[in-house]
């Protein structure tokens, strides 16, 4: 297993990161409008000063290599939009919030999704099947920017149980994680149900029953393992998406997370911030995809022989 991870990190991750950085670095220069273009016209001298301060006046390739050098030193450069802050600082201060929100959402999505999937698969075609499926599918067709305000209207404004926005007490975590997790519930429930239906007709289920196992043991010990394969490969990118924060949920509940920077950095043409967030997200995606591959080999021994 160790060899597998080491191979994955050095032989695969670093080249991928290099490709991402290079492509992004040159691509964002194509987008019109620079970090300093603003409504009030800036004088040429000021623009020139700003460019020299941020090293933008040097030729593009020189900037590229100095940027790579800085990254190796762990310095992701100052943010254009927030001059007093460095990219590393912005990310390290806002990532823990997104991580916490993402984990709550992940747990919520997995528990509800798998439960709904299993319950629906037990009696395909029954009322229970359609009820759980339609509730879980609500997550897909009610987008976050509708579900969030809806939950707030009911639980904060009507019942007054939780605050409308902010990220202080534990109760501030409930609505945002449900909003963030709800969309993935639909995917997980549907995939689990599909997997369960396929596995429940296998022979080894009859063997398990013939051994006198209780129905729940048959489902959760035997059927679920096989059924979760498609779900797990879906969970890799989904979990990475949740952990790195969501622009919509964070703006609706005004949560100081990282998701916000992914989109605003692009709007502000905050080049260093864009690169910082892209690299950060690339690392998370690769970590989670590796995790998923490992879990898949654990779950499915047949994959182990390569």
Partner 1 sequence: MRLTGYFIILIGLAGIHLSCTNRESAVEKATKNKILLFGNQTEPQDLDPHIVTGVPEFQIIESLLEGLTILDPQNLSPLPATASSWEISDNGLVYTFNIRKNAKWSNGDPVKASDFVFSFQRILSPALGSEYAYMLYCIKNAREFNKSQIDDFSEVGVKAVGDSILQIELCKPVPYFLSLIAHHSWYPVHPPTILRFGSIDTRGSKWTRPENFVGNGPFILDSWDINKIIIVKKSGTYYDNESVSLNGINFYPIENNLTEERSFRTGQLHITSSCPLNKIRWYRSNQPQNLRVDPYLGTYYYLVNVNNKPLDNKNVRKALALAIDREALTEHVLEGGQLPAASFTPPNVAGYTYGNALSFDTTEARKLLEEAGYDKNNPFPPVSLLYNTHESHHTIAQAIQQMWKIYLGIDITLINQEWKVYLETTQNHKYDLARMGWISDYNDPNSFLDLWITDGGNNRTGWSNLTYDSLVHAASLISDKEERFRLFSEAERILLDELPVLPIYFYTNVYLIHSSVMGWTPNILNNHNYKFIDLE
Partner 2 sequence: MILDVRNISTVFHLRRADIHAVKDVSFQLFKGETLGIVGESGSGKTVLCQSILGLLPKPPVKTSGHAYFDNTDLLDCDSKKLRQIRGNQISMIFQDPSSAFNPYLRLSEQLIEPLISHGYKSRKNALEKARIILSETKIPQPQKRMYQYPHEFSGGMLQRAMIGMALITNPRIVIADEPTTALDVTVQARILQLMKRLQNQYSLSIIFITHNLGIVAGFCDRVVVMYAGVVLETASTADLFNHTAHPYTKALIKSVPSIDNSKDSLYMIPGMPPDPAARLSGCPFEPRCRYRTDKCLKSENRLRETGKNHFTSCIRVLESELSL
Partner 3 sequence: MSEKPQDIKAIPSGNSLWKEGMGRFMHNKLAIFGSVFLFILVLLCVLAPLIAPYSYETQNLSYGSEPPGSSHIMGTDPLGRDLFTRILYGGRVSFSVGLCATAVSVLVGVIWGSFAGWFGGKIDTIMMRMVDIAYAFPFTIFVIILMVFFERSMLLLFAAIGAVEWLTMARIVRAQVMSIKHQEFIDAARGLGLSTHRIIFRHILPNITGPVIIYSTLTIPAVMLLEAFLSFLGLGVQPPASSWGILIREGAETMEEYPWLLVFPGLALSLTLFSLNFIGDALRDALDPRSSRE
Least distance from partner 3 to the Cβ atom of residue 199, Å: 11
**Cα–Cα distances in Å, from 138 out to 119, 146, 248?**
17, 11, 18
**Cα–Cα distances in Å, from 187 out to 96, 116, 123?**
26, 11, 19
Contacts by 143-148 with C-beta closer than 8 Å and gap 24+? Answer: 143/183, 143/248, 144/179, 144/180, 144/182, 144/183, 144/246, 144/248, 144/249, 144/252, 145/248, 145/252, 147/178, 147/179, 147/182, 148/175, 148/176, 148/179, 148/248, 148/249, 148/252, 148/253
Number of residues binding to partner 1, judged by CB under 8 A:
53
223 is a site residue for partner 3 (CB under 8 A)? no
Q: What angle do CA 92, 183, 233 make, to 5 degrees?
A: 75
The encoded tokens of residue 186 equal: 């639909």
142: left (phi over 0), alpha (psi -120 to 50) or beta: beta
189, 140 contact by CB (below 8 A)? no
Least distance from partner 3 to the Cβ atom of residue 229, Å: 6
**Contacts with 288 (C-beta within 8 Å, 6 or more apart), sequence order:** 236, 237, 239, 240, 243
> Which C-beta is closer to partner 2: that of 10 or that of 204?
204
96 is a site residue for partner 3 (CB under 8 A)? no
Report 230-269 residues binding partner 1 (CB under 8 A). 251-257, 260, 267-269
Binding mask of the shown chain, residues 168 to 197, with x at each position contacting partner 1 by CB under 8 A: ---x--------------------------
Number of residues binding to partner 2, judged by CB under 8 A:
21
135 is a site residue for partner 1 (CB under 8 A)? no
Q: Which stretch binds partner 3 (CB under 8 A): 53-61, 69-77, 91-99, 139-147?
A: 139-147
Among 71, 103, 128, 137, interactor with partner 3 by CB under 8 A? 137
Among 105, 109, 147, 152, interactor with partner 1 by CB under 8 A? 152
Q: What is the DSSP letter of 301?
A: G
Among 20, 21, 87, 90, interactor with partner 1 by CB under 8 A? 90
Residue 78, binding choice from partner 2, partner 1, partner 3, none, Cβ under 5 to 8 Å by partner class: partner 1
233, 292 contact by CB (below 8 A)? yes
196, 224 contact by CB (below 8 A)? yes
Binding mask of the shown chain, residues 235 to 274, with x at each position contacting partner 3 by CB under 8 A: -xxx-x---------------------xx--xx------x
**Which spans of this chain sit near partner 1 (rule: CB under 8 A)?**
31-34, 37-43, 45-47, 49-50, 53, 78, 81-85, 90, 93-94, 115, 119, 149, 152, 156-157, 159-167, 171, 251-257, 260, 267-269
**Which spans of this chain sit near partner 2 (rule: CB under 8 A)?**
123, 202-204, 206-214, 217, 222, 225-226, 299-302
């Amino acid at each position: 297993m160790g060899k597998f991870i080491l191979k994955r990190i050095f032989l695969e991750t670093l080249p991928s990161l290099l490709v991402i950085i290079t492509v992004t670095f040159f691509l964002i220069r194509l987008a019109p409008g620079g970090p300093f273009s603003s409504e009030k016209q800036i004088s040429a001298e000021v623009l020139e000063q700003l460019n020299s301060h941020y090293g933008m006046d040097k030729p593009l390739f020189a900037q590229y290599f100095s940027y790579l050098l800085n990254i190796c030193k762990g310095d992701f450069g100052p943010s254009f939009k927030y001059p007093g802050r460095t990219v590393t600082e912005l990310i390290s201060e806002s990532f823990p919030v997104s991580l916490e929100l993402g984990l709550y959402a992940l747990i919520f999505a997995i528990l509800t999704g798998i439960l709904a999937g299993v319950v629906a698969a037990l009696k395909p075609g029954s009322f229970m099947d359609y009820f759980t499926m339609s509730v879980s599918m609500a997550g897909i067709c009610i987008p976050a920017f509708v579900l969030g305000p809806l939950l707030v209207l009911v639980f904060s404004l009507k019942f007054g149980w939780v605050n409308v926005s902010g990220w202080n007490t534990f109760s501030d975590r409930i609505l945002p994680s449900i909003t963030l997790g709800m969309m993935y519930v639909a995917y997980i429930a549907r995939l689990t149900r599909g997997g369960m239906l396929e596995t429940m007709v296998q022979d080894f289920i009859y063997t398990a029953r013939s051994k006198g196992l209780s129905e729940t043991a048959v489902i959760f010990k035997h059927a679920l393992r096989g059924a979760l394969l498609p779900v797990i490969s879906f969970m890799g990118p989904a979990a990475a998406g949740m952990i790195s924060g969501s622009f919509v949920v964070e703006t609706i509940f005004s949560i100081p997370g990282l998701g916000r920077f992914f989109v605003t950095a692009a709007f502000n043409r905050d080049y260093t911030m864009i690169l910082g967030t892209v690299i950060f997200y690339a690392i998370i995606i690769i970590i989670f995809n590796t995790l998923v591959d490992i879990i898949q080999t654990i779950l499915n021994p047949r994959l182990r022989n390569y």
